[in-house]
Amino acid sequence: MITVAVAGNPNSGKSTLINAIAGSRLHVGNWPGVTVEKKEAVFEREGKRIKLIDLPGTYSLSPYTQEEIIARDYLVCEKPDVIINVVDSTNLERNLYLTVQLLELGRPVIIALNIYDEAKKKGYRIDTTSMEEMLDVKVVVTVATERTGLNRLLAAVLEVAGNSSRNHSKQLDYGEDLEAVARVMEQKIKQNYNSLAKRYPLRWFIFKLLEGDGHVLKEINGCGDGLFIDDHVQHLRKIYGDDIESIMANVRYAKAAETAHRVLSKPEVRKIELTEKIDSIVLNRFLGVPIFLGLIWFVFKLTFDVSTPFVDWIDAVVSGPLKRRTVEMLGMIHTPAWTVSLATDGVIAGVGFVIMFVPVIFTMMFFITFLEGSGYMARAAFVMDRAMRAIGLHGKAFIPMVLGFGCNVPAICATRILENSKDRILTALLIPLMSCGARLPIYVLFVGTFFPVNSGTVLWSLYVMGIVLAIVMGIFFKKTIFKGEPSVFIMELPPYRMPSFKTLMVYTWERGKHFLVKAGTYILLVSILVWFLLNFPWGVEHKKDSYLGKVGQVVAIVFKPLGFGSWDVAASLVTGVIAKEIVVGTMGEIYVEKKEPGKKEQQTFTGDLKECGMSLTNAMKDSAKNVFSTFWVKSISIGGDKKLTPLRAIIQGTFTPLSAYAFLAFVLLYMPCIVASVAMRNEFGTWKWVGISFTYQIALGWIVAFAIYQGGKMLGIG
């Protein structure tokens, strides 16, 4: 098996390249012990098995960020057979800085000169032959978005892996003084630390010792006296008149610059590029913020309008034909009543509630992935940094915050892009206030039922409420738990790029799938548990007398002043601890009994099929119609004019619009779900922050819902 590590700068098109090569064989997981995404693929090529490992995108191998440490540890400890270094052809010098560091590792390197089409468009010409000579590596021109050069790249991998004379990389000349020091140290290490010399790439090891890298220093365990490291550092310092870190950075960048200068020819006159044109509008002093807010609003409206007809359709199919058929089938084999109940009200209802939200989640993930892949996410951070800093957050924190709208779980994982642990924790504490996709089911149901006319606006107000409260809480936390300097903000603004459709789909799919698997497992279990609590002791006349009903009755007292003090709502909220989408599921469970029991619909199997097909066609039509009407300001009703699904009819009797809004605010705020809590724990290694998150959110949710309901009543609303 040939192991191939793929390394490169962020925005070098690395993900697209890997997707193009591996496609469906790509396996997405996590690096052990951390939540940084790890992508792997194993496949065969000319009878040889190749294992492709995607390293996190990094600018350097200096061990400061989690990503850099992961990439470095893998390269140093696992010693891949080949390193594919994905290089952005339009940004050669800075990309080659990483290449120079990779060459220190002594493993064979192949450069994938990616995004070559854009470089050509800019009028760049890159002399790959002289690049190969200078760095003694294979250079392959690729355009990952068009799948160009992939065969040549894989051929190069096989060639390099099969050729033992190529099984190394060239050692670039770092200048006489540095090389002299390296030679002396190499000899000493070979004499005194022979095992280390075998375990680590020696040249890399020596430079890390000079740079004072903690991890490497630990390896020689304080007995580095014989190496005279300090003396060497002092010596170099005198010659270069600079500290050792600067010397190393300068030397490496000099190599990158020298190479880039020699192989790259650029046109004299630079064209004004598309990125600059877009940025002059998008980052405009007056337009920047409104454009950003408008874009987010637009994305959510589109997500909502496109997916709602499908949500309604799935809801109708699951609660209608699917349930009828199951009851009929189980009836034929004389299944006991409680099993029928478990299958339909527990399992099918639970699964149904998960599937129902597939369209919303996937559409949402699609847009978020698009924003990330296009380069706009970095602009969002740039535009928002000043504002984010006011609440003690880094502009980069905006990215996990935005991800939080899709799902809090990956958002909490994404706090990793922040370098400072205070930033990470604070961001993670505020993320649950970002209204995630799992809360959308509840909004869909309630907003569609109570505010059919201005559903878009009401929905938007909930998202804004979350953001405003995040600001308030951010300032609060900054003044209480977190005091100190904000972290650094050094971020590339990559050129705008059209993300490749395939990459977009793969990522949307992976993220959507992740959500579904996570939600599916938990929801199914909880759905069954809730069914048990609801139906046991078996044969209870009223749901109110069930176990869940009893819990609900106690908790309901707390919710009285908020306008939704009934036991059923309280019971639903209790089950929402596991995942917020379950609130709707529980309501479905509770209200199932209230569905007009006398009216037994007689439908034939073919009749059911026909009904499903017809309603699907209608859903598609509605969805398409909604896409276009989104471009006009006119708001679309969320299935408001259609016949209400059974659940909708029932909640209309339980809530008033005012108490419904207070309820939605409470749902938005009241606690992170179990999965988000687990993610938070993983991230920070302690339940402490999870506890803080629960406490402040319940308090906040209660206060806000109280203010809305009581305030609204005083104003005479509802």
Residue 79 token pair: 């010693």
CB of 39 to other proteins, least distance (A): 24
> Quick one: 285 or 542, whose CB is closer to other proteins?
285
Residue 635 is classified by DSSP as P
> Quick one: 400 or 495, whose CB is closer to other proteins?
495
CB of 255 to other proteins, least distance (A): 8
CB of 187 to other proteins, least distance (A): 22
CB of 212 to other proteins, least distance (A): 11
CB of 72 to other proteins, least distance (A): 13
- Contacts of 508 by beta carbon, 8 Å cutoff, 6+ apart: 362, 365, 366, 369
Residues that bind other proteins (CB under 8 A): 59-60, 62, 64, 91, 93-94, 97, 173-177, 239-240, 243, 245-247, 249-255, 257-258, 260-261, 275, 279, 283-286, 288-289, 378, 381-383, 385-387, 389, 395, 419, 488-495
> Quick one: 305 or 372, whose CB is closer to other proteins?
372
> Quick one: 270 or 600, whose CB is closer to other proteins?
270
SS3 155: helix
CB of 247 to other proteins, least distance (A): 8
Angle (deg, nearest 10), helices 688-714 and 674-684:
140
Residue 511 token pair: 């993220």
SS3 57: coil
DSSP letters of 335-361? --HHHHHIIIIIIIHHHHHHHTTHHHH
Residue 709's CB is within 10 A of a number of other CB atoms, namely 25
- Contacts of 209 by beta carbon, 8 Å cutoff, 6+ apart: 185, 216, 217, 220, 224, 227, 229
> Quick one: 12 or 435, whose CB is closer to other proteins?
12
SS3 567: helix
CB of 269 to other proteins, least distance (A): 12
Residues β-bridged to residue 82: 4
CB of 100 to other proteins, least distance (A): 11
Write the CA distances from 570 to 102, 354, 418, 462, 707, integer angstroms: 58, 21, 38, 21, 19
CB of 493 to other proteins, least distance (A): 4
- Whole-number Å distance between alpha carbons of 400 and 415: 6
Residue 255 token pair: 């190599």
> Quick one: 230 or 492, whose CB is closer to other proteins?
492
| CB of 335 closer than 8 Å to CB of 579 | no
| CB of 413 closer than 8 Å to CB of 604 | no
CB of 108 to other proteins, least distance (A): 24
| CB of 599 closer than 8 Å to CB of 308 | no
Q: What is the 3-state secondary structure (H, E, C) of 354-397?
A: HHCCHHHHHHHHHHHHHHHHHCHHHHHHHHHHHHHHHCCCCHHH
> Quick one: 37 or 419, whose CB is closer to other proteins?
419
| CB of 392 closer than 8 Å to CB of 483 | no
Q: Which of these, 140, 138, 75, 141, lies nearest to 106 by C-alpha position?
A: 75
- Whole-number Å distance between alpha carbons of 19 and 30: 17
> Quick one: 253 or 476, whose CB is closer to other proteins?
253
Angle (deg, nearest 10), helices 92-104 and 244-263:
120
Residues β-bridged to residue 37: 30
> Quick one: 119 or 690, whose CB is closer to other proteins?
119
Q: Report the DSSP pairing between strands 138-141 and 125-126.
A: unpaired
Residue 148 token pair: 């160009």
CB of 246 to other proteins, least distance (A): 7
> Quick one: 241 or 597, whose CB is closer to other proteins?
241
Number of residues written out for the chain: 718
CB of 88 to other proteins, least distance (A): 9
> Quick one: 224 or 288, whose CB is closer to other proteins?
288
> Quick one: 98 or 434, whose CB is closer to other proteins?
98
